[in-house]
Amino acid sequence: MSASAQRWLPLAPAAVVSIYFFGGFALFAVRSAIWGVRHDRELEGRAPSLLIGSFLRDYFGWIIRPLWRLVLASGLSPNGVTVLAMALGGGAGLAVALGRFALGGWLFVLSGILDTLDGRLARARHQVTPAGAAFDSLLDRYADGAMLIGLAYYFRGSWVLIAALAAIFGTSMVPYVRAKAESMGVQMKEGLMQRPERILTLGLAVILSPWVEALWPAPSGPGQRLAAVSLVFLAATSNATAVGRITRLLTALRRPAAPAPAPSSAVGPPRTATAPRRLVRT
Q: Full-prediction pTM beyond 0.85?
A: no
Residue pLDDT, tens place only, 45-80: 766 666 777 888 888 889 989 999 999 898 889 999
Active site residues per annotation: 140
Residue 271: its pLDDT value, please? Answer: 47
Residue pLDDT, tens place only, 33-47: 999 888 887 777 766
Q: How many CA atoms are closer than 13 Å to the CA of 233, on its beta-carbon side?
A: 18
Residue 81: its pLDDT value, please? Answer: 93
Closest by Cα among 152, 9, 12, 180 to 94: 152
Query: 70 to each of 14, 73, 77, 82, 114, how far by Cα in Å?
Result: 21, 5, 13, 15, 11
Mean pLDDT of the 207-233 span: 86
Cα separation of 268 and 277, whole Å?
A: 12
- Mean pLDDT, the chain, rounded, equals 83
- 77-253: CATH class: mainly alpha
Q: How confident is the model at residue 95 (pLDDT cuts 50, 70, 90)?
A: very high
Number of residues written out for the chain: 282
Give me the sign of the Cα torsion angle 218, 223, 227, 229.
negative
Contact 103, 14 (CB under 8 A): yes
Contact 161, 155 (CB under 8 A): yes
Mean pLDDT of the 185-198 span: 77
Contact 174, 194 (CB under 8 A): yes
Contact 134, 201 (CB under 8 A): no
Structural domain boundaries of the chain? Answer: 77-253
Q: Residue 171 pLDDT > 60, yes or no?
A: yes
